[in-house]
Amino acid sequence: MPINEVIIVRRCGHCRYEMGTLTVKKDNMRLMTRELAWCENCEADVPEVRDIADREPTVLAEQASYPGNPPMEDVSAAEFRQRKAAARDA
């Protein structure tokens, strides 16, 4: 059965305080808005950031599955130039 509704989380654009959630149909989903919303934490009208609920843990899990970068050697600029010249001559 296809999922027709999505839960949208509304957050403060400054402090990331969760201001509430919306349930909308996928066809009517709008994540970008220029409207200002009242933030209880900042006590001001602030830009609103919208995101799909439970998206952050999914993204973090996917990023954790990526292969890591090999450790970098810390070398001086002069030594780097020497190694680069040696690699070019080889």
In 10-76, which residue ranges form alpha helices assigned H by DSSP?
55-64
Per the CB < 8 A criterion, the answer to whether 19 and 61 are in contact is no
pTM across the whole model = 0.59
Q: What is the pLDDT of residues 51-90, one digit of tens each?
A: 988 888 888 999 899 888 877 777 788 888 898 999 988 7
Q: What is the pLDDT of residues 1-21, one digit of tens each?
A: 577 888 999 999 999 999 999
Nearest 5°: phi and psi at 59?
A: -65, -45
Predicted local confidence at residue 43, as pLDDT: 93
